[in-house]
Structures are given as C-alpha cells and as structure tokens.
Amino acid sequence: MRLPTLLRGAFADALTLVLPVDCAGCDAPDTTLCESCRVALAPHVRRRDIGGVAVWSGLAYEGPAARVIRSLKQEGRTALAAALAPALAAAVTAAGDGDPVMVVPIPTSRAAYRRRGYRVPELVARRAGLRAERVLVAGRRTADQRGLDRGERRRNVAGSFVAARPVAGRRVVVVDDVVTTGATLAEAARALRAAGAHVVGCATVASTPRLVSRG
Ligand SMILES: [Zn+2]
C-alpha cells in the first residue's frame, strides 16, 4: 500500500494501538516495550572525542537499545521515540554543560524521509522536549554510508552540509540518533563552524560499541 509520506508515520503509530505488538527490545509478547527493556534504556551518558568534536551519547548501541532504535528507524514504530528521548535529553544536557543551546539535527536524506515518512533525530528530540532547528542542508550528493570504512566515510561526507540559516555566535549542539565513526557529526560541526556557530558538542541517542572500543 502506498501512502503519502506525511501520513505514513502517523499511520504506523496508529497501527501499534490496534494490533498486538511484541517488545521492540526483546520480543516479549503484547507490549510495545517491556519493563526490563525500559530499564535498559535509562541514560548512561558517555563521551567520545572524534575528529575534534566531543560526542555525548545516552546509550551504548547494543542489546535492547540497539533493537529499539532499529525498530524506530526501520519498522516505523514511531511511538518508541518517547522511550529513547531521555537518552538524547541527557546527552544534550551533557554536551551543552546544562546551558541553553541551539539544537541542530543531522538532516535526514530525501530517500530516507520518503522511505520512513519521519525524521528520526527530530522525532526523538521533539519527544525529549527539545526544539530541533533545521539549519543544515545537503551541500552536495553523498553515497550511502553503510558499508564504508571510517576513512571512506570521512571522504564521502566532506563538504556535504551547509548551514542554510544564520547561526553566527550561537551555541550549538548537533544531534543524531546513532554515532558510528562520527564522520557525519564532524562534517556537520565543520559546516556550522564555517557559518560562525560555536559548536559546543554533539549528542546522540546511542554510540556503537565499535566506536567505544576504538575510543
Ligand atoms: Zn523487552
């Protein structure tokens, strides 16, 4: 069934209310998210420094957290954004050192938006009570990051974002759902700094263990 993009996210949300669902974190029956998986999503903020940018993440991308994020990103289970919101909120607070900051999401590609009908970083930010300001836009086309190693990712994203709104002098935290190599966040920070912003750090819902082991 083809639905207009804007409707698709809302439709997936509505369907979870009427169809039996399993826990997104562990497949326990008849619950969107079971109690033990909720506990596993309690923020545990960690910091990594990647390419001159400090990245705070609320969760490790493993176990129930990774499964819940994948369900949100790939299965249209948008209601799960609320369960991931505390992790992002804690990461943003840590990145901004508790002071007010401008929250700028990594842009969702047109292809991903068409596929999902929603923008994952913005959705989680909204559930966290954060106003995500759509400042960054694509500067040039890039290939899909999946399957590329760290160096290839950095080259692939170089110059891919530009700031489309004035940010000079603003204290900015860049937000995304998951950080893997950090190449996308570093490119976003570069573009914002080029426009005069003071990028105090980046914040993500989760960081991959691969990054942790390299960190
Ligand atoms: Zn569970």
Indicate the pTM of the whole model: 0.83
Residues 192-206: what's their mean pLDDT?
97
User: Could you tell me which residue, 192 or 140, shows the higher pLDDT?
Assistant: 192
Spatial neighbors of 204 by CB under 8 A, at least 6 apart, are 55, 56, 57, 58, 88, 91, 175, 176, 177, 178, 179, 185
10-24, 72-86, 154-168, 170-184, range with the lowest pLDDT: 10-24
Q: What is the reported pLDDT for 198?
A: 97
Cα distance between residue 18 and residue 52, in whole Å: 47
- What is the Å distance from ligand 1's center to 147 Cα? 29
Question: The tokens of 130 are what?
Answer: 């954060």
**DSSP code for 85:** H
Q: Residue 65: is its pLDDT beyond 70?
A: yes
Element (H, E) at 28: none
Side-chain-facing half-sphere of 20: CA atoms under 13 Å: 4
Whole domain around residue 200: which residue ranges? 5-214
What is the per-residue pLDDT across 15-53, written as a single tens digit (0 to 9) for each?
555 667 899 999 999 999 999 999 999 999 999 998 788
- The CATH number of the domain holding residue 47 is 3.40.50
- What is the Å distance from ligand 1's center to 37 Cα? 4
- What is the Å distance from ligand 1's center to 124 Cα? 19
Number of domains in the chain: 1
- What is the Å distance from ligand 1's center to 24 Cα? 6
pLDDT category of residue 214 using cuts at 50, 70 and 90: very low
- What is the Å distance from ligand 1's center to 47 Cα? 26
pLDDT category of residue 62 using cuts at 50, 70 and 90: very high
pLDDT category of residue 152 using cuts at 50, 70 and 90: confident
What is the per-residue pLDDT across 104-143, written as a single tens digit (0 to 9) for each?
999 998 999 999 999 999 999 999 999 999 999 988 666 6
Q: Residue 6: is its pLDDT beyond 70?
A: no
Q: What is the reported pLDDT for 149?
A: 78
Cα distance between residue 105 and residue 118, in whole Å: 13
Phi-psi region of 184 (alpha: psi -120 to 50; beta: other; left: phi over 0): alpha
Q: Is 174 helix (H, G, I), strand (E, B) or coil?
A: strand
- What is the Å distance from ligand 1's center to 80 Cα? 12
Question: The tokens of 165 are what?
Answer: 């709104």
Cα distance between residue 22 and residue 117, in whole Å: 22
Residues 77-97: what's their mean pLDDT?
97
